[in-house]
Amino acid sequence: MRIMLRKGITLHQGTFTAVIAPEQVILSALNDNPDIGRFLTLFVCGNYSRLLTRFRQASPNIELRRPFTADQLLTAIKEAGHTVIIIEHDPTLFDGAERLLAPIAAALREAGREALVILYAPAMDRPFGTLARQADRLIEIMPSDEPGYRQPYQGTRPYRHDAAAPAQKTLEVF
């Protein structure tokens, strides 16, 4: 089982990957992948889901769980026997339950040995960072309208002058 987030960024079974990306990136990766419905898939979201109403996959192989506490999240992860486990991070689950961050991170890592485990958040926060430390990979995809985003290299060559630029020095041959 593979899920392609973007060209060149593929998630594989047997890994636990933490993903920070715009909602549309993860929705496209999930909705445009026909294999999601073929494999046993667990979608876990907490109190507030940004993705659930726009997740278009419909299959008897997709199970939804909505834990409302960190204890319920830990139980859902430990009981999962799915090929794909997608967890939409909800920081409100950890209000007053910070003690469960380490056990949940360990459970995600353990589940990632057999399944494709994706922990998704649109932005980094303290609980997500703690969970992501146990991930095999952390992938961050910035939206193109963010400040500091640079357009990809266009592949055009700038015009070269025959002489070196005034700020450059050339090495002399001895």
For the chain, how are helix, strand and coil distributed in percent, rounded to 5?
A: 30, 20, 50
| pLDDT tens digits for range 43-101 | 999 888 888 888 877 778 889 999 999 999 999 999 999 999 999 999 999 999 999 99
The domain defined by 2-140 carries CATH number 3.40.640.10: no
pTM check: above 0.85: no
Measured on CA atoms in the order 151, 157, 158, 163, is the torsion positive or negative? positive
Domain boundaries, the chain: 2-140
Going by the DSSP 8-state scheme, the letter that residue 47 receives in this structure is S
Token digits for 76?
Answer: 């859902």
* Residue 127 CA from chain centroid, whole number: 15
Q: How many CB atoms lie within 10 A of CB 69?
A: 17
pLDDT for the residue numbered 147: 55
For residue 142, report the phi and psi dihedrals to the nearest 5 degrees: -90, 140
